[in-house]
């Protein structure tokens, strides 16, 4: 499911900004990027996301900045003196009277260094990062929930369309054996008249009975209707349901295929095609449901 969430947090001189983006994917694919010096936090960010998100291609960008203190810098006076001597000598040879600003000297490479004795551990900022990350995911969840409600309405519409077809199949099913009996009687009547033979009614009844047994789809209809009821129940559940719905949709497709193959009736076959079309639309949407 698609969505975007962001959050900002500040504490103890540290500032954290988190952006989370998600697009549709049947599986969970995570891409985490933290700022320079904080790569050690990426596994923790990924672990926290896996506890909150089940599906989607998710990109996370974590930016961390911290106010510098005076203790974190040192002035390399030897390099500064070297720059000053070289530039003074050049200014005298070139006849340049303009003085060289101190700010220019301080900006030269190696003059000001971060104090190597000040060690910063990324783990110290993890509590703030985790808190900000959770808020960004909550923002993402709200956007995904809006999409989920629209998708749920579409899923229910497709389920209702398939159920309407199933009801027509159920109404048609008892008539299939009668239609077969009429066709069989007409065929036998022509053959018997042509060869001047007689037919034992018991043989006709036996043949029609065998056909009715082979084409009986009452169990498949009951199971398919039960699957649609389960589908609605799972959709209403608070926990993630994407995997369950995907499996259930596969079972519904199997039942529809069995109905189509056993019924041996053109009208039922048309309804089964519509049922399978609705199930295919459901299947495509379900792959993006968490």
Task: Supply the pLDDT for residue 84.
Answer: 81
As a whole-number percent, the residues of the chain with pLDDT over 70 amount to 81
Task: State how far the Cα of 179 lies from the Cα of 59, in Å rounded to an integer.
Answer: 60
Instruction: Give the phi and the psi of residue 143 in degrees, each rounded to 5.
Output: -70, -40
Task: State how far the Cα of 178 lies from the Cα of 171, in Å rounded to an integer.
Answer: 13
Counting beta carbons within 10 angstroms of the beta carbon of residue 121, is it exposed (0 to 12), middle (13 to 18) or buried (19 or more)? exposed
Task: Supply the pLDDT for residue 117.
Answer: 46
Strands 73-75 and 56-66, by their bridges, are unpaired
Q: Which positions ≥6 away from 244 have C-beta within 8 Å?
A: 234
Among 158, 157, 155, smallest CA distance to 147 is for 155
Q: Is the pLDDT of residue 115 over 60?
A: no
End-to-end CA, the chain: 7
Pair of tokens at residue 35: 């700022």
Q: Are 269 and 260 in contact (CB under 8 A)?
A: yes
Q: Is the pLDDT of residue 145 over 90?
A: no
Q: At what angle do helices 266-286 and 242-263 cross, to 10 degrees?
A: 170
Task: Supply the pLDDT for residue 68.
Answer: 61
Task: Supply the pLDDT for residue 250.
Answer: 93
Delimit the domains of the chain by residue range: 3-68+124-140, 77-110, 144-286
Among 12, 4, 287, 32, smallest CA distance to 141 is for 4
Q: What is the mean pLDDT of the chain?
A: 81
Task: State how far the Cα of 77 lies from the Cα of 91, in Å rounded to an integer.
Answer: 21
Confidence category of residue 210, pLDDT binned at 50, 70, 90: low
**Length in residues, the chain:** 290
Strands 14-23 and 56-66, by their bridges, are antiparallel
> Model-level pTM?
0.61
Q: Are 264 and 162 in contact (CB under 8 A)?
A: no
What average pLDDT does this structure show over 57-83? 78
Task: Supply the pLDDT for residue 118.
Answer: 44
Task: Supply the pLDDT for residue 72.
Answer: 60
Question: What CATH number matches the domain at 3-68+124-140, 3.40.50, 1.20.1070, 3.30.230, 3.30.70?
Answer: 3.30.230
pLDDT digit string, tens, across residues 166-184: 999 988 888 776 666 666 6
Q: Which residue has the higher pLDDT, 177 or 245?
A: 245
Q: Is the pLDDT of residue 119 over 50?
A: no
């Amino acid at each position: 499911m698609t969505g975007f969430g962001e959050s900002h947090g500040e504490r103890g001189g540290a500032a954290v900004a988190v952006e989370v983006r998600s697009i549709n994917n049947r599986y969970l694919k995570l891409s985490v990027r933290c700022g320079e010096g904080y790569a050690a936090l990426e596994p923790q960010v990924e672990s926290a996301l896996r506890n909150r998100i089940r599906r989607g291609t998710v990109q996370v960008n974590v930016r961390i900045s911290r106010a510098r203190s005076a203790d974190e810098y040192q002035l390399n006076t030897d390099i500064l003196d070297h720059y000053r001597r070289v530039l003074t000598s050049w200014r005298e040879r070139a006849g340049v009277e303009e003085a060289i600003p101190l700010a220019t000297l301080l900006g030269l490479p190696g003059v000001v260094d971060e104090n190597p004795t000040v060690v910063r551990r990324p783990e110290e900022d993890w509590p703030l990062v985790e808190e900000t990350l959770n808020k960004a995911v909550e923002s993402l969840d709200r956007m995904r929930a809006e999409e989920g409600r629209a998708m749920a309405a579409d899923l229910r519409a497709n389920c209702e369309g398939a159920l309407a077809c199933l009801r027509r199949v159920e109404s048609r099913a008892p008539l299939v054996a009668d239609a077969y009996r009429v066709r069989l009687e007409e065929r036998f009547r022509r053959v018997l008249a042509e060869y001047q033979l007689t037919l034992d009614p018991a043989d006709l009844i036996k043949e029609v009975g065998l056909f009715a047994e082979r084409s009986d789809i009452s169990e498949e209809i009951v199971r398919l209707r039960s699957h649609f009821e389960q589908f609605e129940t799972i959709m209403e559940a608070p926990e993630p349901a994407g995997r369950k719905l995907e499996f259930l949709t596969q079972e519904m497709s199997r039942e529809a295929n069995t109905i189509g193959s056993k019924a041996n009736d053109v009208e039922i076959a048309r309804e089964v095609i519509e049922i399978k079309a609705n199930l295919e639309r459901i299947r495509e949407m379900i792959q993006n449901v968490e």
